[in-house]
Structure 1
Amino acid sequence: MAKNENIKNGIFPMGPKNDAYAKFFTGQSYLQGLVNDPNVSVGVGNVTFEPGCRNNWHIHHDGFQILLVTGGEGWYQEAGQPARHLTAGDVVVTHDGVKHWHGATKDSWFSHIAITAGTPEWLEPVSDEEYAAVEGDK
């Protein structure tokens, strides 16, 4: 059994399979929108990653992204920087125009609340070699 599987029953609903964005992820993720107010221009969602799941490299234009880690173990990496190991209670701020990715460790579920403004530009997947190198740093 994978570590931290209990996050599937966290304080926020896990949500359905993240099919709308599946092409931008390696592995299975789940997405539950938390603020559905047309007058709010910031997206707020609970994103849950199965072990080994990660999103592609991406950039937020004309905005930002804040990640509030709620459970499990994951990674966050900005291009050209060392990866950061994440656990519950960690907060990540990604500024406008910064290329980055985030996702679960290979052996743990991972969840975070993503607060996102602006427009994402989805880029190339995080290669298996890049991911393995980060996992080796744990």
Structure 2
Amino acid sequence: MQLQPVRPTAKASAHLFTGDVYLTPVYSGTGPSRMTVVLVRFTPAARTNWHSHAVGQTLHVTEGVGLVGTRDGTVLRIRAGDTVICPPGEEHWHGAAADTFMSHLAMFEAEPGGSDPTTWLEPVPDEGYRAANRIT
């Protein structure tokens, strides 16, 4: 058994997120585990760019209300206690609703061999985000 101290929170890269987003690492697996867990805190209207994960991603909402969108136009409104499973390779985005903070645990694995588990794509346009808020 090993106790790991709380790690410092850092502001997320403006190249990968729109708005103010803060990341607190929770766990970074070392062999044989390939699991990464990050507590992600989104300010109102903040969101990720479009992205996908080679082995998929699980999001567990810890606070607030948010949105998850996929390329086919599906948008889920997510609340504290909800868990969303994004399958491998699915292009998606997630973030806070327009008028509330949202925090979630983001959990994902790297593929064997250590390649980057996340493929980052373009930002979600403001109009697409506003439309997602109206849908749900």
- Normalised by the length of structure 2, the TM-score is 0.84
Cα distance change on mapping 1:41 and 1:82 into 2, 3 Å: same
- 1:51 aligned to which of 35, 44, 50: 44
In the alignment, residue 89 of structure 2 is paired with which amino acid? Answer: G
- Shift of residue 135 of structure 1? 1.2
Percent identity, please: 35
- Shift of residue 80 of structure 1? 0.6
Secondary structure of the corresponding residue to residue 34 of structure 2: coil
- Shift of residue 15 of structure 1? 5.4
In the alignment, residue 124 of structure 1 is paired with which amino acid? Answer: E
Structure 2 portions without partners, runs of 5+: 1-5, 111-116
Q: Which residue of 2 aligns with 1:3?
A: none
**How do 1:26-37 residues align onto structure 2 when only pairs under 5 Å count?**
26-37=18-29
Residue 64 of structure 2 corresponds to residue 72 of structure 1 = yes
In the alignment, residue 85 of structure 2 is paired with which amino acid? Answer: V
- Shift of residue 37 of structure 1? 4.5
Count residues in correspondence. 124
The structure whose residues are more often helix, as a share, is 1
Q: Deviation string for 1:21-69 (max 9, x for gaps)? A: 33100001111111144333110010000011000000112x1100011
Residue 103 of structure 2 corresponds to residue 111 of structure 1 = yes
Larger Rg: 2
CA distance in 1, matches of 2:7, 2:45: 17
- Runs of 4 or more, structure 1, over 6 Å off, are none
CA distance in 2, matches of 1:54, 1:36: 23
User: Contact (CA 8 Å) 1:14, 1:48: kept in 2 or not?
Assistant: no
Q: Deviation string for 1:56-96 (max 9, x for gaps)? A: 000112x1100011110100011113210010111100111
Secondary structure of the corresponding residue to residue 135 of structure 1: helix
Q: Which residue of 1 aligns with 2:126?
A: 128
Q: Which residue of 2 aligns with 1:83?
A: 75
In the alignment, residue 134 of structure 1 is paired with which amino acid? Answer: A
Q: Which residue of 1 aligns with 2:9?
A: 16
